[in-house]
Structure 1
Amino acid sequence: MFLRGLIKPWRLSRSLKKLFCLTLLAVLLNIVLLYLLANNDTSGTWKGQDLAVGSSRNLSNAPRAAGPRRKAVVLFSRWRSGSTFMGELLKKAGRGIFYSYEPLHEYGVHVLYEDVEETHVAVEEVKSILRCQFDFSEIDELLQKNPLLREACKTNDICKDANYTAEVCRRSSLHVAKVLRLGLQWARPLLEMEEVEVKLIYLVRDPRAVISSRSRVAWCSTPSCKDVKTVCSLLEDDLFEASLLQEDFPKRFHFILYDQFCQNPFAALQDLMTFLGLPVTKDQRKLLQSKLPSTDPLSIYKNSTAQAQLWRQRTSFIRVVMPVQRRCWDSMEVLGLRMFFSEKDLVDLSLPVLEQPVEL
């Protein structure tokens, strides 16, 4: 009746009347739809979910910058596990790479794995560095191992300014950081960062080779570095966490057994770069092809395949191999490593140290 009374005073053609009615119907439908959306309060529901997710992940309160997230690769490993060599490979993954070398160096020769304030502070330090937030005390260490920053500082008098360093970091094509002093369970907060897209590489080595190498350096004097029981316990915890991270972050967590990498380094490098979504570079191939002899234990220019087996010829079977095999037995089985039951077998390099490919 309302519509009929509204239209009656006008002398309209049938087609105009039909158009008028359809227009009014569309207006009424829009009014009803807006009413329903307002009462359902859909936006409020999503806001609540977003806050819940943010609080459960313990994310930073700092707002994320607009545009695509910065990309970072974090190498998790331990001392004398091939991390210097692997870090150099990652540093040569392209032009414009910003390399943060051992950002937790000030914590000394310790592995932070307990849920205590010191560990949380260390995690926040790594997160700040991945966000390209630095303080003055860190600049000298960064300059020593960061070719991108050194090159930028050649033509700039303010290279030790933390803000300038942060700007160089933000403009880099990729940020690579090597972390040796955190238990692997503390990698999860890094992978959950919203403002930085983190990919994580976990590098592990035969614990017999690790202990053998550490026994020859004076600075390795703490339990988490030299005590076989502690080292094996930390390895077991890391391998358990690695299996969880592989399941939870299959596209952003990559496991490398150094001994396996050195058996076929070119194929392993290709696999690594595929994971990173980058091509293998000429500088990386050159590094792998290097066969220069070196007596420097920190030199990365040496035959990686031969270097991986060198420990077998200068390690005490009784003082190193037997104790490590006894304490690390389960972890070594997970890694697919051969057990040596005599000194003769240990030095026989025709017996490969890797019996089967590792499967986490």
Structure 2
Amino acid sequence: MPSLHRRIKKIILILLLSVGLVSINLNGNGNNWLQIILTGGRSTTECKNVLLFSYMRSGSSVTGNLLRDSPGVFFMFEPLSPLAPYSYFTDSSVCEMRNSTCRTKNARDRIGTALTALVNLYSCNLSKVPISLIYKMAQEGKSGKAWLEYGACLNGTKSRDQQNSNDIDTTMHCLNRLEQACISADRRVAKVLRLGFSTVEQLLNRLPTLKVLYLTRDPRAIINSRIKTEWFPVFKEKPGTVSNNILSLCLKMKTDIMSWIYTDVLYKDRILHTTLNKLASRMPVMSDVYKFIHKKVTGDERQKIITFLHGNKANNYTEKWRTELHPADRKRVENQCGYVIQRLTEL
């Protein structure tokens, strides 16, 4: 019954919002459906936290790196990966990225752990985040200066006598320094690939200053890139593995787009959708991303963006799939991803 009631509430809200009779007061208490204000407008939300929501091989790394290197940004690179290697969390299950399998056993607890970890990361309550997530981001070296300094601080601790009773205090000192870097940042940005978009509404409720950058790419380009990427599981694998990956990707993208369409009605000023093709070809599109998160593009950032745009133009990265993807694989993607391709073409 609770799920039925939730669907009924969503339908009522969509109908009211669609005719411009209401806006929603986002107070983060989980009961936003009750906080209806008969004003017909939406207030602009302050942006302190940013979720970069995307897919593996969709341009999230280059986009994330541009944001990571922006002044005043505390960046988090795929913080949920230790909790779900090659999997992702929906609002009711844990699903595989490599095939279309989803599991519901113990899923609620795992989903709760993942979402709470993100809330604590964005809130800079790092001592409450599973330590495996913290260590992973420090070890990979992809989350920026603050995390590199944290890793160096830990390495300095480990190099001393392990019997030193001060080691625990020193380790906490390292974490406290990392927390201070998080707190003092103008923006906290997380690149997250291990969520279904159905979970985003919960994060928007729990984090009133969160904005979501939804980055998509033509699924034919994604599959082509996955096939040619050595570390991705479909590299040099049997055709059946590629077919399973296509099915999984198409189902996830379709579900995500449908969830985004609904969520965007409720939180329109807090979600921005764009595509890799647009980002990689037009300076104004990247400028719009910075405006969306309330950041100004510095001279150095502008130069990096221009370099990225020129590189794509010279090498045609975003369109290589048209000549590289095997016709049989292209047909499989088009058969499975028809809805996704059509929607992305229309946007």
Fold conserved between structures, TM > 0.5:
yes
Q: Which has the larger radius of gyration?
A: 1
Give the Cα–Cα distance (whole angstroms) in 1 for the partners of residues 111 and 148 of structure 2.
33
2:203 to 158, 173, 190: 190
Identify the residue that residue 211 of structure 2 maps to in structure 1: 199
Q: CA RMSD in A?
A: 3.1
Equivalences, count: 266
Name the CA shift for 1:226/1:258 in 2 (closer, same or farther; >3 Å): farther
Listed one character per residue, the Cα deviations across residues 205-244 of structure 1 (whole Å, up to 9, x for unaligned) are 0000101111123543388995212211111111111112
**Pick from 107, 116, 122: which aligns with 1:124?**
116
Q: Structure 2 unaligned runs (5+)? A: 1-24, 34-44, 93-106, 157-169, 235-240
The answer to whether 1:141 aligns with 2:136 is yes
Give SS of 1:78's match: coil
Letter in 1 for 2:291: T
Q: Secondary structure at the match of 1:202?
A: strand
Whichever residue aligns with residue 126 of structure 1, its letter is L
Residue 309, structure 1, aligned to residue 319, structure 2: yes
Match of 1:244 in 2: 262
CA contact (8 A) 2:312 2:318 kept: yes
Q: For residue 29 of structure 2, what is the aligned residue in structure 1? A: 54
Following superposition of structure 1 onto structure 2, how do residues 185-264 of structure 1 map, counting pairs within 5 Å? 185-194=198-207, 197-221=209-233, 227-264=245-282
Report the CA distance shift for 1:225/1:168 in structure 2 as closer, same or farther (over 3 A). farther
How has the CA–CA distance of structure 1 residues 220 and 110 changed in structure 2, closer, same or farther, with 3 Å as cutoff? farther
Aligned residue for 1:38? none
Residue in 1 aligned with 2:237?
Answer: none
**Where does residue 302 of structure 2 map in the other structure?**
285
After TM superposition, the structure 1 stretch with the greater mean CA deviation from structure 2, 128-137 or 72-81, is 128-137
**Cα pair distance change 1:154/1:185, threshold 3 Å:** closer
Give yes or no for the alignment of 1:88 onto 2:62.
no
Say whether residues 1:78 and 2:83 are aligned partners.
Answer: no
Compared CA separation, residues 76 and 154, structure 1 to 2 (3 A) = closer
Q: Residues 20-59 of structure 1 correspond to what in structure 2 (within 5 A)?
A: 54=29, 56=31
**Contact kept? 1:269, 1:280, Cα under 8 Å:** no
For residue 167 of structure 1, report the CA deviation from its aligned partner.
1.7
Q: Separation in 1 of the partners of 2:147 and 2:87?
A: 29
Q: Which amino acid aligns with 2:111?
A: T
Flag the structure with more relative contact order, 1 or 2, with Cα contacts below 8 A and sequence separation at least 6. 2
Cα distance change, pair 263–289 in 1 and its aligned pair in 2 (3 A): closer
Q: Deviations over 1:163-207 (max 9, x none)?
A: 32112111111101010010011111111125x510110111000
After TM superposition, the score normalised by the length of structure 1 is 0.66
1:111 positional shift: 2.1
Counterpart code for 1:101: F
Give the equivalent residue in structure 1 for 2:335.
326
Asked if structure 2 preserves the Cα contact closer than 8 Å seen for 1:109 and 1:220, the reply is no
Residue type matched to 1:142 in 2? M
Superposition deviation, residue 289 in structure 1: 2.5
Give CA deviations for 1:125-154 in whole Å, capped at 9, x if unaligned: 111111112244334433312334157559
